[in-house]
Chain A
């Protein structure tokens, strides 16, 4: 890997089906991820994607290529991702190499929804051998 290299850039469509599937897989059944009425009761615009779904989806292309080399991955959830019942929510996820030291490559992981960054200060460290 080299500094400045874009390791992947990919568009993902999150739908309400995606949220139900993630709820079942993860065991996170917070109703704000599948019920508009409850989401609105707690002051949200509507059903939101699980932050952990965005975090997991944003690393999946890198892991599938270099999975056994991942040593650290951390994110900040900077904006919620509302998922429209009809249109869903299109995320653009990408990874760029921003540093190389001590045998590790540091990658900036990005997730953008509706032109807004939804994961901030998000980095993955992979062994660079």
Chain B
């Protein structure tokens, strides 16, 4: 990874329509229960939502879309085959709900050298159709030296 990429912000990704069945599929794959508000419409409605609520880590799908831009960026020079996931965090302004139309925008926050490896910190902001911030995803990737 090119360390001079720090501070670069990539363009917004094309709008991603959050599907009800995609939420359900993701929730089942991450061991949510049948009465989860990510699987049961009744449970989501009881929680005050019109449709299924995405599981907490669903935002990774949006982060991944932004990360593809970095992987395809010759200036970034990121060898993804040597990448290991170090840290991941999410903070939520509101829940992601089926029917949301989301975009994401990634910035490179830091590139550090540590014991022969590179640690790259990314911040991805996720916005809804009204350009309101929905969630932030912070990720540290380790590129093995």
Which residues of A sit under 8 angstroms from B91, Cβ to Cβ? Answer: 71-72
Looking across the interface, which residue of chain B has its beta carbon closest to that of A53? B30
- B85 near A: Cβ within 8 Å? yes
Of the listed stretches A60-68, A82-90, A95-103, name the one at the interface; the rest are far from the partner chain.
A60-68
- A21 near B: Cβ within 8 Å? yes
Please state if B37 and A59 are interface contacts (CB–CB under 8 Å).
no
Which of A21, A59, A61, A76 interacts with B87 by CB under 8 Å? A76
Which of A18, A25, A28, A75 interacts with B89 by CB under 8 Å? A75
Which residues of A sit under 8 angstroms from B61, Cβ to Cβ? Answer: 26-27
A1-38 CB contacts (< 8 Å) to partner B:
12, 18, 21-22, 24-28
Q: Give the total of B residues in contact with A, Cβ under 8 Å.
A: 36
Q: How distant is A61 from chain B, measured CB to nearest CB, in Å?
A: 8
In the assembled complex, the Cα of A52 lies from the Cα of B67 at a distance in Å of 15
B interface majority secondary structure: mixed
Given known contacts A52-B60, A59-B56, A64-B35, is B29 in contact with A74 (CB within 8 Å)? Answer: no
Looking across the interface, which residue of chain B has its beta carbon closest to that of A12? B31
A interface majority secondary structure: helix
B39-76 CB contacts (< 8 Å) to partner A:
47-49, 53, 55-57, 60-61, 64
A34-81 CB contacts (< 8 Å) to partner B:
42, 51-53, 55-57, 59-61, 63-64, 67-68, 70-77
Looking across the interface, which residue of chain B has its beta carbon closest to that of A19? B29
Which residues of A sit under 8 angstroms from B27, Cβ to Cβ? Answer: 60
Which residues of B sit under 8 angstroms from A60, Cβ to Cβ? Answer: 27, 30-33, 36, 55
Interface membership of chain B positions 4-38, coded 1 if the CB is closer than 8 angstroms to chain A and 0 otherwise: 00000000000000000010011111111101111
Please state if A67 and B37 are interface contacts (CB–CB under 8 Å).
yes
- B81 near A: Cβ within 8 Å? yes
Known contacts A56-B55, A74-B138, then 5 further A-B pairs from the complex at CB < 8 Å, ordered by chain A residue:
A27-B61, A64-B38, A68-B48, A74-B89, A77-B86
State the 9 A-B residue pairs at the shortest beta-carbon distance, nearest first: A74-B89, A56-B30, A25-B29, A56-B57, A64-B36, A57-B31, A51-B85, A72-B91, A22-B29
